[in-house]
Amino acid sequence: MPTLARILVCLVASLVVGCASGGGEQTPADSTRDGPQTSDAPSSESASESERHSVPRLPSGSMGPGGGQASPKLLRQKCQTGEAAACMALGTRYAQGQGVDQDEKRAVDLFDRACQGGVGKACFNLALMHDKGKFVEPDLERALQLYKQACEAGEANACHNLGVTYRDGPGEMASDPARAREWYEQACQKGAAKACFDLGLLHRRGVGGDTSPERAARFFDRACEQDDMLACFNLGILYRRGEGVERDPARASDLYQTACDGEVWNACASLGTLYAEGIGTSKDTERARSLYRRACQHDASRACVHLAVLVLSKGEEGHVERGRTLLKRACRAGVPEGCFNLGALYAEGRGSLDSDPERAKRYFRRACDRGMKQACRALDSGGS
């Protein structure tokens, strides 16, 4: 088995280009959530798709205007004379108990009247209610009808929810990613940043149609411009790799920084990698360490491995125990490199840590079971 120093060097290299030497390449990244081995792989960097917009408490921001300072009596009079917006506002009051006793049934009836009067947000709220079983019995078919009605009335989030529903195929409904693309497209054009992001993911992965990193980049860019931090992060990945755009590590660094500032913790980890290697920015190990620490503290578990590599390579007092703690945290979170490097520490023994071949094999087994070929080879060679 490679020595610990060789393993650590290999791991650092893998952050950027993947490690290929004597022991062969690590398992290549795939498009599943847990597949990639490095912090620059699709699944550790890209986010899963959005969920449907929902309003479990039906807040006023989602329900639309509550009629301003208009009294319930005035809203009721206007609603009775056919003013659909007043029905919508009054329904919001009853849904929330604002100035009136809360009355869920009345709220539903008023939203239905407003929806029939052409108020898209009322249709959207009704769709959410039927979708989530809020105030009414769950009814996905009815929810889809109302989402479509709301979408046609200009409600971008309704279009997006249609996309998510067709993508996921909840219950007995069959998944239809091609139709999901169509609804995402409408939502994105209407200004729903999450829909632009989700549409970018489908184009990047080739789900529901052809793979197109160029189109993915355009949709990520559109969403990023609307302050969707996950989109900024994913756009940074494309610039880092030169997928669909001209490779530009400096641009990737800027986008990672934006996303990191927006609390996308994997973006902080990826930015740390750029600083650790001096790619797209000046090399700054301390800055990398700070970014890895921040990401690790927020459960971006691969960052804990990268931080452990820096800690173990620096050789400060207590570095072995600190490195071991970080690797154990990553291993427990399912990161194969964390398990593998723990195995390496126990196989070799270092500092105050005695050699423990049996424990080393157990950690190599965990890494191997999670798809790390290098760990499988270490087991095949006797784990020593």
| Predicted pLDDT at 68 | 59
pLDDT-based confidence at 383, cuts 50/70/90?
low
Distance CA 93, CA 127 (A): 18
Select the more confidently predicted residue: 352 or 237. 237
3-state secondary structure the chain: CCCHHHHHHHHHHHCCCCCEECCEECCCCCCCCCCCCCCCCHHHHCCCCCCCCCCCCCCHHHHCCCCCCCCHHHHHHHHHCCCHHHHHHHHHHHHHCCCCCCCHHHHHHHHHHHHHCCCHHHHHHHHHHHHHCCCCCCCHHHHHHHHHHHHHCCCHHHHHHHHHHHHHCCCCCCCCHHHHHHHHHHHHHCCCHHHHHHHHHHHHHCCCCCCCHHHHHHHHHHHHHCCCHHHHHHHHHHHHHCCCCCCCHHHHHHHHHHHHHCCCHHHHHHHHHHHHHCCCCCCCHHHHHHHHHHHHHCCCHHHHHHHHHHHHHHCCCCHHHHHHHHHHHHHHCCCHHHHHHHHHHHHHCECCECCCHHHHHHHHHHHHHCCCHHHHHHHHCCCC
Q: Are 292 and 269 in contact (CB under 8 A)?
A: yes
| Predicted pLDDT at 67 | 53
Average pLDDT, the chain: 84
Reply yes or no on whether the pLDDT at 32 is more than 90.
Answer: no
| Predicted pLDDT at 352 | 77
Residue 83 DSSP code: -
* Neighbouring residues of 214: CB distance < 8 A, sequence distance ≥ 6: 244, 245
Which tens digit of pLDDT belongs to each residue from 180-205?
A: 999 999 999 999 999 999 999 999 99
Question: Tokens representing 83?
Answer: 């003013």
Question: Tokens representing 202?
Answer: 């489908």
Select the more confidently predicted residue: 286 or 318. 286
pLDDT-based confidence at 382, cuts 50/70/90?
confident
Reply yes or no on whether the pLDDT at 35 is more than 90.
Answer: no
Domain 4-47+302-380 CATH assignment equals 1.25.40.10: yes
Do 4-47+302-380 and 59-153 come out as alike in CATH topology? Answer: yes
Average pLDDT rounded to a whole number, residues 211-220: 98
The domain ranges of the chain are 4-47+302-380, 59-153
| Predicted pLDDT at 384 | 53
Distance CA 369, CA 238 (A): 30
Select the more confidently predicted residue: 11 or 335. 335
Arch. (CATH architecture) of 59-153? Alpha Horseshoe (1.25)
Q: What is the DSSP string of 127-148?
A: HHHHHHTSSS---HHHHHHHHH
| Predicted pLDDT at 285 | 95
Select the more confidently predicted residue: 5 or 327. 327
Question: Tokens representing 226?
Answer: 């609307």
Which tens digit of pLDDT belongs to each residue from 42-77?
A: 333 444 445 544 433 333 333 344 455 789 999 999
| Predicted pLDDT at 10 | 40
Average pLDDT rounded to a whole number, residues 259-280: 97
Reply yes or no on whether the pLDDT at 341 is more than 50.
Answer: yes
